[in-house]
């Protein structure tokens, strides 16, 4: 197993890409702290893992809170004894609006969750990883950080910031054997993407949709992202740091 004897903290683990990664990491031997703003959703993910013989705990935390992020890492280490992997995945998005029409609070909330949340996730993971002799940090960015999404100024800005911060952190912490990378998903079939699709098109997102959504003629699934996250978390990526990994089925090449 690729993550045997490793301890992973995964935010946004109550659904979507975070849940997919939590289940896969546990199946590959990691003890997982499944973190979500929705504590009940985190509990469900942890329960699914333990029901299948894995190790997991559920934690409720708002990643936009410095104190709560620090506490979630401390709780995970208190339970499992160390920290090897931090997957800063939790995120949010604003309604589609012209930039000048976005309410100040909505813009700030997106940056607080998507960018500050990653900052806190790195800040409080690093000391534990230094004690453990190294580790892997994975941040969720987006293809929106590479190719602007119309109507999503805050989301696009936050994800571009995650890519830049990942590169800086990768440079800074390599000397401590801590690797920092980010994943830039395209259109993935999650609750967030379904909500955005309903908002913009007034109908449900079809997981079998074809066309220009990707060069591979299908929508991405949480498992597609989880497998890349597993690579980055494992020793298979021992010489990989400071890099954005695009997982979009070729969407950004079109």
> Which residues are identified as catalytic?
155
* Phi/psi at 125 (5° precision): -80, -40
What end-to-end distance do the CA atoms of the chain give, in Å? 36
Angle between helices 39-51 and 16-27 (to 10 degrees): 30
Q: Distance between CA 216 and CA 131 in Å, rounded? A: 43
Backbone angles phi and psi of 219, in degrees to 5: -85, 150
Measure Cα distances from 65 to 68, 108, 141 in Å: 5, 13, 19
DSSP β-bridge partners for residue 180: 137
E strands along the chain, which residues?
Answer: 7-11, 31-36, 55-60, 85-88, 135-140, 178-185, 244-247
Q: Closest by alpha carbon to 84, among 168, 27, 9, 2?
A: 9
């Amino acid at each position: 197993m690729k993550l045997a004897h490793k301890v992973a903290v995964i935010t946004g683990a109550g659904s979507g890409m975070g849940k997919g990664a939590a289940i896969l990491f546990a199946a590959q031997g990691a003890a997982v702290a499944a973190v979500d703003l929705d504590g009940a959703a985190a509990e469900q993910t942890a329960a699914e893992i333990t029901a299948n013989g894995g190790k997991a705990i559920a934690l409720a935390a708002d990643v936009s809170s410095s104190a709560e992020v620090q506490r979630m890492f401390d709780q995970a280490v208190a339970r499992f004894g160390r920290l090897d992997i931090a997957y800063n995945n939790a995120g949010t998005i604003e309604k589609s609006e012209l930039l000048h029409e976005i309410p100040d609070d909505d813009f700030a909330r997106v940056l607080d969750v998507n960018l500050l949340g990653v900052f806190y996730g790195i800040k409080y993971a690093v000391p534990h990883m230094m004690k453990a002799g190294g580790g892997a940090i994975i941040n969720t960015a987006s293809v929106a950080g590479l190719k602007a999404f119309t109507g999503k100024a805050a989301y696009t800005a936050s994800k571009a910031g995650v890519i830049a911060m990942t590169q800086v952190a990768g440079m800074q912490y390599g000397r401590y054997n801590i690797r920092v990378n980010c994943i830039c998903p395209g259109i993935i079939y999650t609750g967030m993407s379904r909500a955005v699709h309903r908002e913009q098109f007034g109908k449900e997102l079809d997981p079998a949709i074809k066309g220009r959504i990707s060069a591979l003629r299908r929508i991405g699934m949480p498992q597609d992202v989880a497998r890349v996250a597993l690579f980055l978390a494992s020793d298979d990526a021992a010489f990989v740091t400071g890099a954005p990994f695009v997982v979009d089925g070729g969407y950004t090449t079109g």
